[in-house]
Amino acid sequence: MTPIVVANWKMQLGVAEAVQSGTTLLQLLTAKPLEATVVVCPGFISLPYLVEPLKKGPIALGAQDVFWQEKGAYTGEVSPRVLHEIGANYVIIGHSERRQLGETDTDVGRKLMASLVHHLQPIVCVGESADERAQGRQEVVVQQQLEHIFRSAPPPRHGHMIMIAYEPIWAIGTGEAADPKEAEVMRQLIQQTLRDVTPAGQLDSFRILYGGSASPENVAQYVGPDRYDGALVGGASLDPHTFYSLISACAQAH
């Protein structure tokens, strides 16, 4: 199984910078291909500008969020149908930075359902805060997030792939990645919870990614056979050379 490496560019790059970063990454991956599924998630405005340059290469495009309705009077929202129409194939859902702005597990479940209907492969983020971990509640928190999300979303249909990204909030953008042993405990918990909340035999539809200060230097501590299936990467994905090294480390670890 090849690792999945997802770049979350957040609101860090302008359109020209995003195109530049995407095309440089494409050049690197074309010159020296790597055994990995690579997805970049630029801001909404940059997305259509990257479709053409990345069209024939090995980089897939994803959005950083989506609305759960496909059409209607929803000022400011972005439709899953339109994302698919312009060429996005993946979408990040429930990132902690969106949750901090008020997104709930119910919203995440609706977005998950809408993205599956519209052929977007969802990357659903879960993870505990620093306080929750200090209280030893990380397992309960992540378990409840998954239970709530899947209560409002259907079980995956055949051929649908759902990625769950475990991103401890305190590790995001801090340079303080999770302890690999603790991250592994969480991966196993996520796997068990998915087994409990989805119908028998559906576990194959899931991939579990690690996110939170992942870097070329530390990513092989998380990703590999019988470990995480890939990584969701913020800061270390902005520079295409650094991101290429990180993808390479994942490919070697697998």
Which residues bind to ligand PGA, rule: CB under 6 A?
8, 167, 172-173, 211-214, 232-236
Q: Is 101 left (phi over 0), alpha (psi -120 to 50) or beta?
A: alpha
Smaller CB separation from ligand PGA, 122 or 212: 212
| Residue 135 C-beta: closest distance to ligand PGA, Å | 22
Residue nearest to ligand PGA (CB): 234
Cα gap 216→64, rounded to integer Å? 22
Closest Cα partner for 182 from 232, 127, 229?
127
Smaller CB separation from ligand PGA, 14 or 173: 173
Under 8 Å between Cβ of 5 and 37: yes
Smaller CB separation from ligand PGA, 111 or 198: 111
| Residue 159 C-beta: closest distance to ligand PGA, Å | 26
Closest Cα partner for 60 from 29, 81, 20?
29
Catalytic site positions: 95, 167
| Residue 241 C-beta: closest distance to ligand PGA, Å | 16
Under 8 Å between Cβ of 236 and 242: yes
Smaller CB separation from ligand PGA, 115 or 218: 218
| Residue 71 C-beta: closest distance to ligand PGA, Å | 29
Count Cβ atoms below 10 Å from residue 33 Cβ, excluding itself.
Answer: 11
